[in-house]
Structure 1
Amino acid sequence: MTHRPIRIAARAILVHRDRLLLVNAYPPSVGSDLWCAPGGGAEPHAGLPENLAREVREETGLEVRVDAPCLVNEFHDPARDFHQVELFFRCRLVRGTLDPAWEDPEGVVTRRRWVTRAQMAELRYRPLALPSVAWMEAGAPRYDPLERIVG
């Protein structure tokens, strides 16, 4: 039995003015309320930081500086033969603001927003370790184990 290769993705932990940048990558027709950090699949022959800066720019219109990795997360959907490993990097805002008129050229990200630590409690997001990693809580994990995908 052959399987699809594991997909590698890079994601941004971007905290600016004590707010974390999140995106929703589901079309309105799906109506998912699941939020995640911006980023996406790595393209061959480009480093993960380069891939991540491009993804953040496409999804949000923001220019970032990519710093050190801070979390490895993985999830899968056995029914679709899908398995993704995500490397999260701390990022710094270099330029830009969230423009409500911004459109992701690939049409993947439909909503984007800044959230406080307190607002995270009101949202559905993945990975579950996201707030503790973003706000650098003592004991925040560096690896979030394999879990089934949720929509």
Structure 2
Amino acid sequence: MNQRRIRRAARILLMDEYDRLLLIRFAPADRRPFWCGVGGECDPDEDFPAAASRELFEETGLTVETCGPEVARRADDYLTLEGEPITSDERFFRVTTRSFTPDTSGHTAIERELIKEFRWFTRAELANWHEPLFPVNILDLLDAENPK
């Protein structure tokens, strides 16, 4: 059996002035649509904070000086959107901004194909949403105060 690759990823808990979280709806052909936050894989030799800033800009068009603080870490085994089985090493960063409409001009080809919607969610909406949210403990991450 092949060993899973460790996939380092930076994730952003992007909050607006109304305490809403921005999530992205992905609709791959081979599985049920799901929602997750902004973020993605670190480039080789890129640290997590730099990856968070880059991914935030690429996926939403928002530029920030720093993405911080790091509020949580998690690991999980799953299949990427490309179908690769990986073990994730994810770091979560909290960013607060004014509500805006994301600019998708920096999206990759696979993002243009699979991303169907951006939406600002209240905590009540997250608690009762009808489609899968990732990570499943997203409400706990919103309440995180210190790195885990």
Q: What percentage of residue pairs aligned between the two structures are identical?
A: 29
Q: For the residues of structure 2 that align with 1:26 and 1:74, how far apart are their CA atoms?
A: 23
Would you say how many aligned residue pairs link Structure 1 and Structure 2? 137
Q: Which residues in structure 2 correspond to 1:28-67 (within 5 Å)?
A: 29-30=29-30, 32-64=32-64, 65-67=66-68
Shift in Å at residue 83 of structure 1? 1.3
Give me the TM-score of the superposition, normalised by structure 1.
Answer: 0.74
Q: Which residues in structure 2 correspond to 1:108-123 (within 5 Å)?
A: 108=111, 110=115, 111-123=117-129
Give the structure with the higher percent strand: 1
**CA RMSD, Structure 1 to Structure 2 (Å):** 2.9
Q: Does 1:127 align with 2:135?
A: yes
Shift in Å at residue 80 of structure 1? 4.9
Amino acid paired to 1:126: F
Task: Report SS of the residue matched to 1:24.
Answer: strand
Q: 5+ residue gaps in structure 2? A: none
Amino acid paired to 1:54: R
Higher deviation after alignment, 42-51 or 102-111 = 102-111
Task: Report SS of the residue matched to 1:87.
Answer: strand
Task: Mark the CA change 1:31 to 1:4 in structure 2 (over 3 Å): closer, same or farther.
Answer: closer
Q: 5+ residue gaps in structure 1? A: 144-151
Q: For the residues of structure 2 that align with 1:55 and 1:73, how far apart are their CA atoms?
A: 18
Higher deviation after alignment, 70-79 or 1-10 = 70-79
Shift in Å at residue 43 of structure 1? 0.5
Shift in Å at residue 89 of structure 1? 1.0
Moved segments of 4+, more than 3 Å: 29-32, 77-81, 140-143
